[in-house]
Amino acid sequence: MNIGPMLNLYPDSLGGTLDDVVDFLKTEEAEGAFSSCYILPSLYHADLDRGFSVIDYSLNKMYASGETLEAIKKLGIELKLDFILNHASVLSKQFQDIIAKGEESEYKDFFINWNEFWKDCGEMTEQGYILPEEKYLKKMFFRKPGLPILMVRFPDGREIPYWNTFYQEVNYPKVSAQELMKAADLQYMQAEIIAQELSMGCPEGKKPADILQEIVLERKAGRLTKEQITTIWNYMEQHRYYLGQMDLNIRSPLVWEFYKNTLQTLAGYGAKIVRLDAFAYAPKEPGARNFLNDPGTWELLGKVTDLAKPLGITLLPEIHASYAEGTYRTIAEKGYMVYDFFLPGLLLDALERRSGEVLVQWIREICDRKMLTVNMLGCHDGIPLLDLKGLLSEERIQSLIDTVVSRGGYVKDLHGAKNVYYQVNATYYSALGEDDKKMLLARAIQLFMPGKPQVWYLDLFAGRNDHAAVQRAGAGGHKEINRTNLTCSDIAAGMKKPIVQKQIELLRMRNRFPVFSANAKIVAEVNGTKMDIRWQSGSEEAVLQTDFGDYSFSVSIRDTSSDTEYFKYDS
């Protein structure tokens, strides 16, 4: 297993396209620093959530081509790519076919019909969806307020609810007077007034029925018949369109055919690791939490593994759960790679408290359990904190939150529930107080952690919190604080900074020496403010000595049989 450093970025993060990323990796300054590259899913044909709402898994022509991916592989760099098991975009061919054909669509069971799922488990509402009984609702895990449904209009005018865990948006097109004249037998002035009211009200979130009721009550368009009102309302509803991510029905054979074809596509791109995003939401059944269902989650994972193995793909299940729940242990025991979401918070805690005690405990557990991890500092989402429950006290976690927020970060709560925190959004550099010594020490420790180090591109360039990007993104745009795209000139300027050059030197060291292998023996010790981590493989030994008192460290790599020193670094 290749556990060398992995660059993590969007295809447009460095320069604007993946070709620019290739150019960066080819530079003398960056050459040899990375053995893998994790490209986020805006690589694909997608719409929302910067790639995590996939229309299909063809390449995004704005950012990449097959030739570009081949160029990365020719550099000896392996790819890690995403596969979103739980959902697909409403713009996917499957969902668009349902909208166009309704019951006649071959894909009508490709997504989850809410009413069929909850049949005999609740009462039908006036709005046309089943409200499950309280005994079911109280067990469920919700990502947003309200029931996770999207009402979808079929060609025959029926409204059918489909399961929608994540984002949804319903929009209406701007309508012209001429269209309404033809549709509802209106005079021009009537049609013009109604078209203006609809075109102003719908973008504000008003429903066509409410706007039309107001027009009738206030007689804004003169006398209108019930038939005309109904015709206009039907016209608007028939032409409404959606954005969002619709949950897939894993009971459908067509979904499993889609899974198989997608994995084959990703293998064709050269993916060696495939991160399974949001997969724990996919298995659903009445009476379950419908997140991380047991045994459904593990049965799904096993079936996807059977599809991936013949393709030479290693799966990386992505689950955020607290340390106390022990989900990470279950993943490891089942033979999968574990996403080390604990390290970012543990490192922040160690640097702020000037003690690596808990960090050493975590290193020892990874080694004792023989877990293969992928670790990180920053990433596209944020700094995980929910995961630390059980490793750190509530008071220490809250102290971390307060520290990062005081340095310009944002707290992300789960659908607004007080104290149900999920992550803090900040660049890792800003979370560390924009302190070069802390950043470099954090990187050195990450590179000596067991597992495969994943490096967020903005951390590499010591990126600061981008509050202007958050403001531009508007409501829900907190993640943009750590997603700043760098231009080619930004990259050139950044490569001249000592904090960048020193990180690359350490990354090249981690990637170069065979002592950093999956089979190496790793020993970690702590004494007051000092912490040492030692890797041993054959006669080669790598040692990191740190002091949280002044954030200093040293690295040495030598052959113990000949006492030959290969590498030496002092901060």
Report, as residue numbers or ranges, the catalytic residues.
277, 318
Contact present, 427 and 463 (Cβ < 8 Å): yes
Alpha helices per DSSP H over 309-356: 327-333, 343-353
Q: Is the peptide bond before 155 cis (omega within 30 degrees of 0)?
A: no
Any idea how long the chain is? 571
Beta strands in 172-240 (DSSP E): none
Q: Considering Cα of 333, then 334, then 337, then 340, what sign does the dihedral take?
A: negative
Q: Which of 504, 469, 502, 470 is nearest to 486 (CA)?
A: 469
Chain Cα centroid distance, residue 210: 37
With b meaning 16 or more CB within 10 Å and e meaning fewer, what string describes 167-204? bbebebeebebebbbebbebeeebbbbbbebbeebbee
Beta strands in 503-562 (DSSP E): 521-527, 530-537, 540-547, 552-559
Cα–Cα distance for residue pair 31/501, rounded to 1 Å: 12
Specify the DSSP class assigned to residue 281.
Answer: G
* Unique residue bearing structure tokens 């081509």: 65
Q: Which of 369, 382, 393 is nearest to 451 (CA)?
A: 369
CA dihedral 470, 472, 473, 476 (to 10 degrees): 50
SS in 3 state form for 11-74? CCCECCCHHHHHHHHHCCCCCCCCCEEEECHHHEEECCHHHCCEEEEEECCCCCCHHHHHHHHH
Other Cβ atoms within 10 Å of 566 Cβ, number: 15
**φ/ψ (deg, to 5) at 198:** -65, -40
Neighbouring-strand partners of residue 454: 6, 376
Cα–Cα distance for residue pair 244/315, rounded to 1 Å: 26
Cα–Cα distance for residue pair 255/519, rounded to 1 Å: 38
Cα–Cα distance for residue pair 370/357, rounded to 1 Å: 20
Contact present, 433 and 407 (Cβ < 8 Å): yes
For 52, the token pair is 């995590």
